[in-house]
Structure 1
Amino acid sequence: MKVSFKVIQREDYTVVHFDLEGVLEPRDLQSVKPPAVNLAKGVVLSGRGPIWLYGFLVHHYHPAKFVAVYDPRIGAVVVETHTP
């Protein structure tokens, strides 16, 4: 199973979009290497995948200014932040 990432830089945040090739199993997380980003900005996660992959990515990027997940119906939703 392979997870591919695409990084899109914006002024105040970075979009980290992922695509899955095949079926992802929880044991595959050991080999998932999320891309490095500027943690002084926010991170918006985007892609179709299991909730536990999102949990893994939110945990990975938790030092960022904020972490949001993209919902095509309503846009980015902040799920974790270090700023008031």
Structure 2
Amino acid sequence: MKVQVVYFARYREQLGVEGEAVEGDFAVLDDVRLALLARGEAYAVLGEQNLMCARNQDLCRLGEPLAEGDEVAFFPPVTGG
């Protein structure tokens, strides 16, 4: 399965890319995150406990089921003040 991954805020800055196409055997969104984490180095940021995610521009949890061509987004928690 192929999905488009988009990174926001400091994740984009740390990884040095806005997004990328990723292929693999993904059933749920967390499968994508784990595949990226396995790359090591800068991708370790995706292991943060408060990581937020979206599927096709809707906020979701890591257990969200995926389909071919979905857009997956990762971003840090948003804080306000």
The higher-RCO structure (CA 8 Å, 6+ apart) is 2
Structure label with greater radius of gyration: 1
> Which structure has greater helix proportion?
2
Q: Work out whether the TM-score is over 0.5.
A: no
TM-score (structure 1 length as normaliser): 0.31
Higher share of residues assigned strand: 1
Q: TM-score, normalized by length of structure 2?
A: 0.31
